[in-house]
Chains A and B, each alone.
Chain A
Amino acid sequence: MQDFRQSFSHAAQLIADLDPTLIEIVLLSLKVSLTATLLACVIGMPLGALLATRRFFGKWLVSVVLNTLMGMPPVVLGLLFYMVLSASGPLGWLQLLYTPGAMIIVQTFLVLPIVTALTKQIIEDAWSEYQPLLQSLRVGKWGSAQTLLWDMRTSLLTVALAGFARAISEVGAVIVVGGNINHLTRVMTTAIALETSKGELALALALGMILLLIALTVNALVFSTRQRVTV
């Protein structure tokens, strides 16, 4: 039985060698998931804030749907986008299937409901506290949303991190629209799936450790910024 010690030594070896293939895979993983998280935040945070500060018919339903979409299985979303981006699909002419672009799109939509729903919740709580003040200052709803977004920025960083965690750790969506093509669309999670299927369990686990290490680094970086932001 391949054991854990072997995985640790594999992981250490890969890092020590600065294995060029590994670096390529790590960089693509970061590029895809960070871009997707950024896009999801840029779209989802204002959207969440607007949903929080406005009252409209069917708001309850929108909340329920958003919260449900947080549980969207990545492979289902991947399939959906495969059908859309396939050469015989409606957006086939974009020729995006099996490119990093397709992976960014699918992860953006995977992260979007989480960012929107969590932002909405945070801003809603803040809104119930500050609404009288903001209204007495005659700040409009959009202005209020902006103010509250800025005010809640430390909490929103955690939202962004939750989104990033969802993106960097999923395999179902990127493997369908990316195709796990060597030197083109292979990311950490699809590489782990591939090594597992080759029976290279120790190597697969080593890659998993490195993936966690990357997530740790990103979290540590964001946390240190957050400390500064708070002060």
Chain B
Amino acid sequence: MKTINSTTPMSSLVKFTLVQVLMLCTLLNPAVADNAVLVQSTTSTANSGLYDYLLPIFEKKHDTRVHVVAVGTGQAIRNAGNCDADVLLVHAKSAEEKFVNDGFGISRQDLMYNDFVIVGPSSDPAGVANAESASEALTAITAKQAIFASRGDNSGTHKKELQLWQQANIDVEPLSGKWYRETGSGMGATLNITIGMGAYTLTDRATWISFNNKQKHRVLLEGDDALFNQYGIILVNPEKCPNVNAALAQQFIDWMTGSEGQQLIADYQLQGKQLFYPNANH
């Protein structure tokens, strides 16, 4: 009796678990439809509403779906490197070229550009608005030890910001945690923090225009050539990632860089302002 009792529960447990696992498998949706493009993207293009405007037009025309995962450029590149994307759309040219050179992507193309701006409180304690260049602005912030919020997340904007500090000959690493504060978050979250702290930060213009919690912050520095922001589009290499839907992904890239996509990008406005300037095939 005792032996029967002690073995039965275990075997029924095993059976039970097996049934559960089978149930789980049937419950789960089958794989994403093959007829879809998976894009790993930077956040600015998604948060600004560009995709909501562009993608339905492409989807309708080609009877397909475009799925966008919007994360920081660094994470987008890493996810695409894990083959979890068909197309990569980010803004960090040297990292993109490395991605292609490492064999993960093919044919990086310029897609569009806009620019970065330095935003800060209207009171502007460091006098950034008087600066002639980004380097001068960062030097002024350093001299005043005014709070500066950095993305600190290896995103395209973060890479650009580090490049600007380097050009200004300022080493921010030892200053981190003092007036230089790394949020380790996306652009939107960093802007919320910037506003909460009355700090300065670097942001792409599209995110800033579409951001709806500006309060008393405004653009203090813009127009420096060093603040140029180029977006690129890359097909993930199907030889490295056999799951890549290469034909459809290429169709999407061709459309985005072709006359129709480029015109639509130029036409897209938010609050009466153009957010992105097409420059494919230049």
Contact = CB atoms under 8 A, between A and B. Distances in A.
A3 to B, nearest CB: 12
A50 B29 CA distance: 31
Nearest to A46: B16
Given A142-B12, A184-B67, A197 B43 contact: yes
Most buried by B among A39, A86, A87, A184: A87
A137 to B, nearest CB: 13
A181 B24 contact: no
A101 B28 contact: yes
B1 A94 contact: no
B8 A197 contact: no
A199 B212 contact: yes
A198 B203 CA distance: 13
A99 B69 contact: no
B192 interface: yes
A131 to B, nearest CB: 13
Interface residues of B, number: 46
A133 interface: no
Interface stretch (B135-143, B152-160, B182-190): B182-190
A198 B209 CA distance: 10
Given A35-B27, A199-B192, A180 B213 contact: no
Contacts of B51: 182
Contact of B82 (A88, A181, A184): A88
Most buried by A among B17, B51, B69, B243: B69
A228 interface: no
B13 interface: yes
Contacts of B13: 46-47, 50, 142
21 contacts: A1-B215, A2-B213, A42-B20, A43-B20, A50-B9, A54-B9, A87-B83, A88-B241, A95-B32, A96-B31, A98-B32, A98-B84, A100-B29, A138-B1, A142-B5, A181-B68, A196-B188, A196-B192, A197-B47, A198-B211, A200-B212
Give the 10 A-B residue pairs with the shortest CB-CB distance, closest first: A197-B188, A95-B31, A199-B213, A101-B28, A87-B83, A142-B9, A179-B69, A199-B212, A140-B5, A199-B211
Given A86-B82, A142-B8, 4 more contacts: A87-B82, A94-B31, A179-B69, A197-B192
